[in-house]
Structure 1
Amino acid sequence: QPTIEITKIALLDSAKLMVEDAEKKRKRHQKEGRKGPYPEIPLYEVKDVEKVFPLFEGVAYNEEVKLSPKVKIVFYDAGHILGSSFVKIFANGKVILFSGDIGRFGNPILKDPTEIENSDILIMETTYGDKIHEDRKIAEEKLQNIINETNKKGGNIVIPTFAIERAQEVLYYLKKLLIENKIPHLITFLDSPMAIEITEVFKKYFSYLDGEAEELLNKKISPFDFPLLHFTKSVEESKMINHIKGSCIIMAGSGMCTGGRIKHHLVSNIERKESSIVFVGYQAKGTLGREILEKSEVRILGNFYKVKAHVEKIDGFSAHADKEELIKWLCSFKKIPEKIFLVHGEEEVINEFSIIIKDKFPHSQIIIPSYLDEFEI
């Protein structure tokens, strides 16, 4: 059920953003007297999304779902975001597990990834198959230091935030740091209508949460609220943020800076030496977030800006399992799969991870599929 609610929110948000971006691009091209390589039309609109909603059906974890007399599936908690799942497929005497995104162990708000007993074939993600995340305590201290140092300089702390899971985890840590008196009480904006809605879903389905977060919600105490936290839903409220005097914390989407309100906050802060831009999640190649990390000048909303703000990436808040956690999860299988397909990773990452697991699991066939490859299983 959490997945249904989150998916509805995400699809509606995506449709609205695409319509807005298409219109902005059309106007910019018209103003510049040129035509882009692609038509300025959205892939889908709100009316298209709403037609999909009646087709959704919620399924509980560990519950068998029969798709046909010979095929059934079971979902297991992947620990990546609220409601995320591994999918085990039973078909024609074979057992196939699709990992999707594998979550972290020890996440303060989500349960650990489910240990799987067996699977003949595994399709496994490798996003961070070549990296080891920094300890969450170190990540927490980094966030603390950035906030304190930026506050001293009078700048803003801009955090491009994924609306699902990451925003809630950052809110959790901000509240923790405030309770422990490790950071000052700064005005904090969650400037993302989608993240605000998702946070309400987290509160509603607290039984899916882990440890301390669930315990707090059981006591009617939200781990995602604290003094001076403002949820800015309207565009007008968002614009007013840039008129705030003194330091503030701005959390806005999208997490990779590819769209959304974060672009306007970047425009207002990226050339301010006293401000900080803090990335708390993966930045894919080709995204504005990756360019800010790697370049001294970037293009935002059609204009070029020098990257003068302090830029920091905190890996410890990632929702993707790192190399050691991927291996730990794989080792939890009582019977290692005969075939392991490695996907969802940059080429060099997949290659490096494949070497590691070939050595660790010599009896398994390790396969790195290419786009449109077909396999008989």
Structure 2
Amino acid sequence: MGESPVLEIRGLHVTFTARGREIHAVRGVDLTIERGQTLALLGESGSGKSVTAKAVMGLLDQPGVEVRSASARLGGRDLLAMSAEERRALRGSAMTLVFQDALSALNPVLSIGDQIGELFRVHQGSSRKEARSRSVELLDLVGIPAAATRIGDYPHQFSGGMRQRILVAMAVALEPDLIIADEPTTALDVTVQAQILELIDRLRRELGTAVLLITHDLGVAAEVSDQVAVMYAGRIVESGRAEELYDRPAHPYTAALLAAVPDLDRPASELRAIPGAPPSPALTPPGCSFAPRCERASDVCTGNRPVLAPLGTGAGRYAACHHVKEMLDGAPA
């Protein structure tokens, strides 16, 4: 019998209630990530990417938020059958989250050594001396120069790139099954972005960890991902291997995102923006959510919501569109 996926989610819904209105942020999302694999969850701001990540981590247990799922398993463990305390115990040890703003994520009044060492003391019962020694090893692992000296420094004494490396060190400290990286390079310059992505990818290979990468950047997704899932208005509209999806997009939204990327070979070419705006998550239109912005939209699109279905073109390739055949055939809109 084959090894269970690291993460397997079916039918994830997240609804916020505010002032008597229901906000449907995530609508029936399915996710599967195998060991050692990187899945990029790609989409515009407000598509539901980060809410999906927080729901997986169990960080939305608060009034006014409903999280429900048909099934949710982490390394074969049934997350739905666990109590809040049991879910909390998994965070840090079995799954971790790398935030996009390292300065906000780190405690400004505790040294880096204290913050990393706390993971070993709380989860593994390590002594302070042992926790400090292992923290130095981690800082070395993620490329912090003079780690033994800088272990006593505070977050404000590090650059943005170094702080992000520290968050990555904390994420891999207990060798979790799953790392969720939520826009981990957003506030960094291009050179440092590349270094952080390479670091996460190297640690994934060395530790065999699965990675869920949340991003709006197509270049970042292409750089390190095995699989890409494209989200729009709370739903996954297309998924598949990164190369196949980028070469032959099967959903008009994916194609529009790719077309909006500037062409460096033709710097004078016109930038192609996607017309309109995403729908309000408080609304539930009967048809395809992308139809008002789609150049291929027809009557069937506005009246019937397409189902995410296998394309038959390759393992793991899915799309939710009534015009998949025309998209794959390259027919003009």
TM-score by length of 2: 0.29
Determine which structure has more spread, i.e. the larger CA radius of gyration: 1
